[in-house]
Structure 1
Amino acid sequence: MTDDRARMTNDPVDCWLTDMDGVLVHENHALPGASDFITALLENGQRFQVLTNNSIYTPRDLRARLLAGGIDVPEQNIWTSALATAEFLRTQRDGGSAYVIGEAGLTTALHDVGYVLTDRDPDYVVVGETRTYSFEAITKAIRLVEGGARLIATNPDPTGPSQEGPLPATGAVAALITKAINVEPYFVGKPNPLMMRSALNRIDAHSEYTVMIGDRMDTDIVSGLEAGLRTILVLTGSTREDQVDRYPFRPTRVCESIAEVVPLVAELSAGSQAAPGLD
């Protein structure tokens, strides 16, 4: 495994960000070490957020799904692209309005920041992941954007996983709209480092004391790098070890699985607790 120990341990760590699928779970089954990793974070008093580009589910839904797999993650420690999108829109146009293609995870997040959901002259068209894409809804979105609504998408992922094979996801539907009227969306989720920054802001953490764990070089690792974080790639998801060197950037460390990260939590947090000003 790639192990740049000096770069990993130069600074203490008091915050961890981790992707969900491919790191903690695979097809709703817990990966080895996932539960132990969350336990280690809690026992060592570490701030953390579990990130996902999936905008279908609310944090409460995702907590229940993780718990069914034996991973106990508090609801407030789950950060989705839907929540990041809602927070971004709140900072851009507080109290605005949106036409939404998406599920409860996205509509709930927008409602919670005070947005009105409407198909009449909305400020934004917001595209998220759904399992019930309709031609009528996509046509409505195209016409609203053509009429002046700003186009936002929760994430650029073209497909999502299922037991039967890949499913069209947010990026694919956003591409339909772009192709129709030549308007590019602003993607909030990974690999946009805004996803990382908003997660850090949520828990008042700082990039120089944070590690990002992911299974994809082209989303998790690059966005962590661009947000100024140290990064760990685990090989239980999308990126194989022989693919790492093909990228022009590298993770701080490569591990077989999240199980290899568990001892690092205590090792690095011991330094962070002794360091001044990292409350």
Structure 2
Amino acid sequence: MTISFDDRSVSTWLTDMDGVLVHEQQALPGAAEFIAELQRCDRRFLVLTNNSIFTPRDLRARLSRAGIDLAEESIWTSALATAQFLSEQSPGAAAYVIGEAGLTSAMHDAGFILSDTDVEFVVLGETRTYSFEAITRAIRLVGQGAKFIATNPDVTGPSTEGPLPATGSVAAMITAATGIEPYYVGKPNPLMMRTALNRISAHSETSVMIGDRMDTDVKSGLEAGMRSILVLSGSTAREEIVRFPYRPTMVLDGIADVVPLIEQLTPASYEELGED
């Protein structure tokens, strides 16, 4: 089966981070070359992550240590997307925030008042030190009418010792206690993609999303109107693709296989590319 990129050129590239560019602090083959080629071809791009723990500065340093060089402005996190979304809903509101620097900094920079009383929003992000006291406070505030927002629905996160409970798991606790479901901003919500595209003045018709997960990266790219590339260097294995009712535009082994496509799929080129 041939999966075609049709005759539309590609001006903009969005890519997931973990499982595509890095794995456990190590760059995956072709990751540095991929970013360098985007920069050489003057392509607009963003590196996306559902992880709300770190600031773009932290993530830039992490990528730099792995040999991948890009600016802070080229990183878009679920924390940034959440803060931007809420600033459009209720500018300058008060919010009770559970999370680390990536989320609290984003909310502060967006003009929110961080408080634990009389808040409009309870905003849940990922943290390595979830506290029973903080979760209890969130449950009471949501029960009193605060709107419940979460950065992303991931139930576990990776660590060198195995999976860790993540935002989705803690959100489920709050939902069980209150009966209130959160609004998730991060992938697979296409809002994450839309805010990323708007950030770099891009259009979904000429953009591609690269990811390693069918249920988040490919799904959110599809629902945002983009073509997608699934790389098999992370979560989703080739044999698992058939379990989903949707398909990526292209399936490749890793990000190294995307590098030659960047120049070929420029606005001046209308070649049909695919994988058998």
**TM-score scaled by length of structure 2:** 0.96
Shift of 1:9: 4.2
Q: Does residue 194 of structure 1 match 2:220?
A: no
Q: In 2, Cα distance between the equivalents of 1:155 and 1:194?
A: 11
Q: In 2, Cα distance between the equivalents of 1:29 and 1:210?
A: 27
CA offset digits 1:237-257 (Å, max 9, x no partner): 000001111111000000000
Q: 2:245 aligns with which of 232, 245, 248?
A: 248
Partner of 1:228: 225
CA offset digits 1:201-247 (Å, max 9, x no partner): 11110000000000000000000000000000000000000111111
Partner of 1:4: 3
Q: In 2, Cα distance between the equivalents of 1:197 and 1:36?
A: 26
Q: In 2, Cα distance between the equivalents of 1:113 and 1:257?
A: 36
Q: Does residue 265 of structure 1 match 2:265?
A: no
CA RMSD of aligned residues (A): 1.1
Q: In 2, Cα distance between the equivalents of 1:107 and 1:272?
A: 43
- State the one-letter code of the partner of 1:211: V
Matches within 5 A, 1:64-83: 64-83=61-80
Shift of 1:4: 1.5
Q: In 2, Cα distance between the equivalents of 1:73 and 1:147?
A: 43
Shift of 1:151: 0.2
Q: Does residue 155 of structure 1 match 2:152?
A: yes
Contact 2:54 2:102 in 1 (8 A): yes
- State the one-letter code of the partner of 1:155: N
Shift of 1:271: 2.3
Contact 1:9 1:268 in 2 (8 A): no
Q: Does residue 141 of structure 1 match 2:124?
A: no
Shift of 1:50: 0.2
Q: 2:51 aligns with which of 45, 51, 54?
A: 54
- State the one-letter code of the partner of 1:253: M
Partner of 2:274: none
Matches within 5 A, 1:24-43: 24-43=21-40
CA offset digits 1:52-111 (Å, max 9, x no partner): 000000000000000000011211000000000000000111111110100000000001
Q: In 2, Cα distance between the equivalents of 1:73 and 1:219?
A: 24
Q: In 2, Cα distance between the equivalents of 1:86 and 1:64?
A: 22
Q: Does residue 172 of structure 1 match 2:148?
A: no
Q: In 2, Cα distance between the equivalents of 1:3 and 1:42?
A: 29
Q: Does residue 124 of structure 1 match 2:121?
A: yes
Q: 1:206 aligns with which of 189, 203, 206?
A: 203
Aligned residues: 270
Partner of 2:85: 88
**TM-score scaled by length of structure 1:** 0.95
- State the one-letter code of the partner of 1:167: L
Q: In 2, Cα distance between the equivalents of 1:27 and 1:152?
A: 28
Partner of 1:276: none
In structure 2, the gaps of 5 or more residues are 271-276
Q: In 2, Cα distance between the equivalents of 1:117 and 1:31?
A: 38
Q: Does residue 16 of structure 1 match 2:32?
A: no
In structure 1, the gaps of 5 or more residues are 274-279
Q: In 2, Cα distance between the equivalents of 1:255 and 1:33?
A: 12
Find runs of 4+ consecutive structure 1 residues off by over 6 angstroms.
Answer: none
- State the one-letter code of the partner of 2:224: A
Partner of 2:101: 104
- State the one-letter code of the partner of 1:4: I
Partner of 2:273: none
- State the one-letter code of the partner of 2:3: D
Contact 1:3 1:252 in 2 (8 A): no
Shift of 1:272: 6.4
